[in-house]
Amino acid sequence: MLRKMHEWIRFFRSRACTAGLLAFAAAATIYQVTERTRTVYIRDGQELTLAYTMSEEVSDILQAEGIRVMQSDIVSFTGFSANMAEVDIQHPISVTLKADGAVQTLEVPEGTTVGEVMESEHLSLDGNDKINMDTGDLLYDGATLVIERIDYNTRTEERELPYEILQTESSLLKPGRRTVLVSGQEGKEITTFSQKLQDGEVVFEQAVGNTLLAAPVAQEELVGAYAAISPLDFGYDCDDNGIPLDYVTVYRNQKATGYSARAGALTASGRYATPGHVAVNSEEIPYGTKLYIVSPDNTFIYGYAIAADTGTGLMDGRTDIDLFYDSYTESVLNGVRYVDVYVLE
């Protein structure tokens, strides 16, 4: 028995025993290390690294592999499953977004598309809106994404149309005097404009149509001057005062009144009642007789005329001649005047 014990003691003290124990310890250590070693796939942007670790902390894993991350980087760690895990490192890029009147700088992961940014910022394109990149384009660091809101609009503008002033010289008034026969009225017109708006601001506008609401009414005025009222001209040779040199006879200091009529009215002779046609006593001056009528001092000039009408005042001697005017106002301005009536033929 003692002999057996001594043999065991000598065995454990031998080199063979020592080597065996060391080998066993090493095997046990290797087993434990192997059991605790885990595989990690690290994606850093476009690079893929395969790492082996016994740590469960992602920071330790990255530090062991010499991978530095910035505060702005996005690190995703799946956790270990069957001693395997994945680490995804995304480095954000800086993108400028200009849209709807605002400018902002966004930090987005690499590989982000234009459409993804628009979706995250709740942006959409309508109608004629413009964008400087396609929605499927990948954004890059420093990229500027611009969305322009394009709209079309119409507006109307009402404006007044000025009236013109028509002046007629007349010896019914003294030189320097003026009177209004017909008051002028401004017209009205609506102009329609087509507008192009970019981000709410008008960048182009043009007129596309006009609608006349009311035409302007010209103002008609009489201006005092030594000028004939009648538009007729028989072409007689006249003296320095404008009096025809050749005439049959003259009725001096005849009482002359004025009258007017509606447009289109006819005279007793069948002629239209227009300036230059006068009413006479046809028994003394037959219809169709050519006349020249002027005041004795030559300050009032009715001018050339044709005997074309008559009236009761002429027949009973209360008036010698009645001068036709375009307007009632002019007939009133005539009042009662004394004129010389030259019978030309």
* CATH number where 161 lies: 2.20.230.10
Confirm whether 141 is domain-assigned: yes
C-alpha to C-alpha distance for 128 and 46, rounded to whole angstroms: 38
Indicate if 100 and 190 belong to the same structural domain: no
Indicate if 85 and 97 belong to the same structural domain: no
C-alpha to C-alpha distance for 176 and 184, rounded to whole angstroms: 21
Residue numbers of the domain that contains 134? 92-148
Confirm whether 313 is domain-assigned: yes
Confirm whether 175 is domain-assigned: no
Residue that finishes a domain, picked among 59, 74, 89? 89
Indicate if 46 and 85 belong to the same structural domain: yes
Confirm whether 75 is domain-assigned: yes
User: Model-level pTM?
Assistant: 0.58
Indicate if 236 and 334 belong to the same structural domain: yes
Q: Tell me how many degrees the CA angle 145-146-152 measures, rounded to the nearest 5.
A: 155
Indicate if 58 and 114 belong to the same structural domain: no
Residue that finishes a domain, picked among 89, 116, 132? 89
Residue 293's closest CA among 343, 337, 341?
Answer: 341
Strands 84-90 and 92-99: unpaired
Indicate if 317 and 257 belong to the same structural domain: yes
Indicate if 339 and 232 belong to the same structural domain: yes
Indicate if 97 and 140 belong to the same structural domain: yes
Structure tokens that stand for 285 in this block: 């001056």
Residue 275's closest CA among 165, 168, 164?
Answer: 168
Indicate if 99 and 194 belong to the same structural domain: no
How many structural domains comprise the chain?
5
Confirm whether 177 is domain-assigned: no
Q: What is the CATH number of the domain that holds 277?
A: 2.40.40.10
Indicate if 212 and 190 belong to the same structural domain: yes
Residue 282's closest CA among 268, 293, 295?
Answer: 268
Confirm whether 222 is domain-assigned: no
Do residues 208 and 193 touch, judged by C-beta distance below 8 A? yes
Confirm whether 52 is domain-assigned: yes
Phi, psi of 3 (to 5 degrees): -65, -40
Indicate if 251 and 207 belong to the same structural domain: no
pLDDT tens, residue order, the chain (345 aa) = 566 665 655 655 666 555 555 555 555 444 554 567 889 888 887 788 888 888 888 888 888 888 887 776 778 888 888 888 888 887 888 999 999 989 999 989 888 999 999 999 999 998 899 999 999 999 999 999 999 999 999 999 999 999 999 999 999 999 999 999 999 999 999 999 999 999 999 999 999 999 999 999 999 999 999 999 999 999 999 998 889 999 999 999 999 999 999 999 999 999 999 999 999 998 889 999 999 999 999 999 999 999 999 977 677 667 789 999 999 999 999 999 999 999 998
Structure tokens that stand for 110 in this block: 């690499």
Indicate if 46 and 83 belong to the same structural domain: yes
Q: What is the CATH number of the domain that holds 137?
A: 3.10.20.90
Confirm whether 70 is domain-assigned: yes
